[in-house]
Amino acid sequence: MFGITPSARLRPSPYYEATLAEGVCAFTTYNHMLMPTSYGNPLEEYWRLINGVSQWDVAVERQVQLRGPDAGRLAQILAPRDLSSCKVGQGKYVPLVNHQGVLINDPICLKLADDLYWLSIADSNIWFWASAIAAERGLRVDVSEPDVSPLAIQGPKAEDVVAHLCGDWVRGLKYFWFREFDLGGIPLVVARSGWSKQGGFELYLRDGSQGTKLWNLVKEAGQPWGIGPGNPNWSERVESGLISFGGDTDGQTNPYEVRMGKYVDLHVPDDTVGIQALRRISAAGPKRHSLGIILDAGDPVSPGFSWNPIYKDGVKVGDLTNCVFSIRVQKNLGFALISRDCVVGDRVQAMVGGVMQSGVLTELPFV
Ligand code: THG
């Protein structure tokens, strides 16, 4: 169809050569990098994630490193979730908001040491944000983007593969916890995490020159379990109700509207960015909420690039922020960011690809 013009602005991942060798055939951009989105066989890639094990180039999940005596202070100033109980070796999913309480990213915060944190970010520039806030508040902390590139291993067989590769200790890792590990000269952080609900691990590679080597070691270790290439899977993530920052959120979305209220602690210190706004929003009650929508149409629909309006009784009540044909449900499923006046069971219409579709609102997740 069309190609990609190489440039230093659009950085390839350390796994780029390896994914080309696997037959990658589509990319998206994320954090000014390329991320594989297809190897040409969607059904095979989907079922490999659901029933087996899949390896993903997710180097685009960049780390914003906070290092110095005030690293923990800065992390808590940036994140409206209580990090005071976070242990070295533990990760926590944290919403980041601006001063108005609007969601600006949803990273995993990893505490590597008392003076060393990583924010493993979604698609927005938190490096600028964190360094500006550190400077304005006069904090003793160095903010940088280190040479760290996650490779995800996802699916019910992922634990067997990672145990085979790194040792049985990985079986004891709790969700979002991690350990530093040297894999025959390849420096890694091994975490139980990943953007699917099928279970798995992420290997944070700390030396970009060894991307192909790591990819091939994982591929080799996974052979007995039929490992193959994949990527964050759109159908699985919608079925599982996982939010995509920037896709399911806009310039007005607060955490309460997208089922992230449980990751906000209103008692964090008053100098946490956005906490005053979140206290107000929480007290007043958010105006929108996220529900699932199941379209009646049996054939896959094409939602296009943008959000699609949702109507009830002819009045616009919200937006369809994504829509995908679910392989397990065999229906078009989507997320509705919609007025709190609309509830589960309501029948609504959504304009998708220029066609008015009917559907019903449901709880999330779907599966
Ligand atoms: N891995 C790493 N970095 C990342 C992502 C990742 N950065 C960007 C993006 N993904 C961050 N977003 C999410 C969103 C959801 C989850 C993980 C990262 C997730 N959520 C579970 C859920 O919603 O059920 C559990 C969260 C919890 O209860 O604590 O796993 O994938 N390195």
Domain boundaries, the chain: 16-61+148-237, 287-367
Of 1 and 100, the structure prediction assigns the larger pLDDT to 100
The protein residue whose alpha carbon is closest to atom 23 in ligand 1 is: 242
If pLDDT is split at 50, 70 and 90, which confidence band does 299 have?
Answer: confident
Look at 15-24, 164-173, 258-267, 346-355 and tell me which has the smallest mean pLDDT.
346-355
Can you tell me the mean pLDDT for 134-161? 98
> 236 alpha carbon to ligand 1 midpoint, in Å?
14
> 259 alpha carbon to ligand 1 midpoint, in Å?
13
> 93 alpha carbon to ligand 1 midpoint, in Å?
6
Q: Please provide the average confidence, as pLDDT, over all residues in the chain.
A: 97
- Torsion (CA) 255, 258, 260, 266 in degrees, nearest 10: 30
Phi/psi for 324 (5° steps) reads -150, 150
For ligand 1, what atom is nearest to the CA of residue 262? 28
Q: What is the pLDDT of residue 12?
A: 87
> 242 alpha carbon to ligand 1 midpoint, in Å?
8
pLDDT for 89 beyond 80:
yes
> 49 alpha carbon to ligand 1 midpoint, in Å?
17
For ligand 1, what atom is nearest to the CA of residue 232? 31
For ligand 1, what atom is nearest to the CA of residue 120? 3
The architecture that CATH gives domain 287-367 is: Beta Barrel (2.40)
> 29 alpha carbon to ligand 1 midpoint, in Å?
18
From 13, 31, 242, the mutation candidate for ligand 1 (largest count of ligand atoms within 8 A of CB) is 242
The dihedral built from the CA positions of residue 52, 22, 60 and 110, taken in this order, carries a sign that is positive
> 128 alpha carbon to ligand 1 midpoint, in Å?
22
From 63, 93, 126, the mutation candidate for ligand 1 (largest count of ligand atoms within 8 A of CB) is 93
If pLDDT is split at 50, 70 and 90, which confidence band does 295 have?
Answer: very high
For ligand 1, what atom is nearest to the CA of residue 241? 23
Q: Does 287-367 match 16-61+148-237 at the fold level?
A: no
From 54, 82, 83, 195, the mutation candidate for ligand 1 (largest count of ligand atoms within 8 A of CB) is 195
Can you tell me the mean pLDDT for 45-71? 98
> 52 alpha carbon to ligand 1 midpoint, in Å?
20
pLDDT for 1 beyond 80:
no
> 1 alpha carbon to ligand 1 midpoint, in Å?
32
For ligand 1, what atom is nearest to the CA of residue 202? 32
For ligand 1, what atom is nearest to the CA of residue 194? 31
Q: What is the pLDDT of residue 304?
A: 84
> 105 alpha carbon to ligand 1 midpoint, in Å?
11
Phi/psi for 236 (5° steps) reads -65, -40
CATH 3.10.520.10 fits 16-61+148-237, yes or no: no
> 108 alpha carbon to ligand 1 midpoint, in Å?
6
Element (H, E) at 203: strand 200-205
Q: Which of 143, 161, 144, 247 is nearest to 198 (CA)?
A: 161
Residues with CB under 6 A from ligand 1: 61, 93, 106-108, 120-122, 150, 193-195, 202, 242
Can you tell me the mean pLDDT for 323-327? 95
Q: What is the pLDDT of residue 92?
A: 98
Strands ordered across the beta sheet of 142-144: 91-93, 108-113, 116-120, 63-67, 142-144
The protein residue whose alpha carbon is closest to atom 29 in ligand 1 is: 93
Q: What is the pLDDT of residue 354?
A: 87
Distance CA 162, CA 85 (A): 28
By DSSP bridging, strand 54-57 and strand 228-230 are parallel
Task: Give the model confidence (pLDDT) of 181-214 as tens digits.
Answer: 999 999 999 999 999 999 999 999 999 999 999 9
The protein residue whose alpha carbon is closest to atom 27 in ligand 1 is: 93
For ligand 1, what atom is nearest to the CA of residue 243? 14
Q: What is the pLDDT of residue 6?
A: 86
Distance CA 24, CA 47 (A): 18
CB distance 122 to 105 below 8 Å: yes
